[in-house]
Amino acid sequence: MISAIWNTILVNPILNSLVGFYQLTGNLGISIILLTLLIRTILIPAVVPSLKVAKKQRELQPELAKIKEKYKNDKKKQAEMQMELFKRHGLNPTSGCLTQVVMIIVLIALYGVIRRFTNITDIANINNHIYFEFLKLTSAEQVNTHFLWLNLSKPDPFFILAILSGVLQLAQSKMTMPFVEAGEKAAKKTPDKTDDIAYNMQEQMLYTMPIMNVVIGVTLPAGVVLYILTTTVFSLFQTYFVSGWGGLKPWLKKAGIKVK
C-alpha cells in the first residue's frame, strides 16, 4: 500500500519525466539537469516562503543584537525574548526544516529512478511504468549513461561533482543566514561563545549539510550528484533574487568583491 502510493505520487512521475527528457535530448546528463529544473520550479511555492522568512530575520538583526546584549548573562531569558520577538513578527525559525524534508524525499525518489534507469536489465521494468506508448524504450542498449567524463550510473571518480556541490551549498546556506554576523558580535560580548539556540542551530547547519553533501556525494551515482549540484545552483539564484546576498556579504567583501 505504502509502496504503491510512493510510486504513484513520486517515483512514476519522476521516471516518466526523465524518460521524456531523455527521448527528447538523447543525453542523460542534460535530461537530469532539465528534470531538476522542472522539480525545483514546481517546488518554488514551498521554498520561497522560507526564504522570505530568512530575509525578515535579517531585518530583525538590530533588535536581536539588543536582546543578546541586554540578557547576555541570562541565556534562558534571552531565548524567551528572542522567541517572543519572532512570534510578534509571525516568524518560525524552524520553518525551513519542512523544505529540507521535501528535498530529501524528492532526492530519495530520484535516487531510485536514476538507479533503475541507468542499470536496466529488463526493459519491461521501465516500460511498465511509462504512461505513454511513444515514450517507451525499445531496448536497454538505448540508454547511454555517459556524460562529460562521467558514467552517471557510477560515482564520480574525481569527486568533482561532490566537492563542487558542497562548496556551492555552503555559499547558498550562508546567503540564507539571517543574523549570524550580528550573532557573532553579540557572542564576543558574552561570557562564552555559545549564543542563542537559533544562532547555534544555524551555525551547525551552515557547515554540517555541505560536509554531508561531499561525504555522501562521493559514494552516490554521479547522476544523483548531478541533480544535487543542479538544484544547489538553482537555489543560489533563487535565494539571491528573493533575499539578496544575505550572510554571504562578509565573505564576498573579504574576497574583494564589491556587493550592494
Give the pLDDT of residue 123. Answer: 81
pLDDT for 31 equals 93
CA 45-51-89 angle, to 5 degrees, is 105
What is the pLDDT, as a whole number, of residue 230?
Answer: 92
Secondary structure string (H, E, C) spanning the chain? CHHHHHHHHHHHHHHHHHHHHHHHHCCHHHHHHHHHHHHHHHCHHHHHHHHHHHHHHHHCHHHHHHHHHHCCCCHHHHHHHHHHHHHHCCCCCCCHHHHHHHHHHHHHHHHHHHHHHHCCCCCHHHHCCCCCHHHCCCCHHHCCCEECCEECCCCCCCCHHHHHHHHHHHHHHHHHCCCHHHHHHHHHHCCCCCCCHHHHHHHHHHHHHHHHHHHHHCCCCHHHHHHHHHHHHHHHHHHHHHHCCHHHHHHHHHCCCCCC
The CB-side HSE value for 218 (13 A sphere, CA atoms) comes to 10
Task: For residues 42 and 49, give the distance between their C-alpha atoms in angstroms, rounded to a whole number.
Answer: 14
Helical axes 44-59 vs 96-118, angle rounded to 10°: 140
> For position 52, what pLDDT does the model report?
66
- pLDDT tens-place values along the chain, 260 residues long: 777 888 888 888 999 999 899 989 989 999 999 999 998 888 777 776 666 666 666 666 677 777 777 777 777 777 777 777 777 766 666 655 666 677 788 878 888 888 787 777 678 878 888 888 888 887 766 678 889 899 988 899 999 999 999 888 888 877 766 544 444 444 444 444 444 555 555 566 667 778 888 888 888 889 889 988 998 899 888 887 777 776 777 777 777 777 76
pLDDT at 48: 66
What does the domain layout of the chain look like in residue ranges? 2-254
151 DSSP β-pair partners: 146
Q: Which residue has the cell 543560489?
A: 236
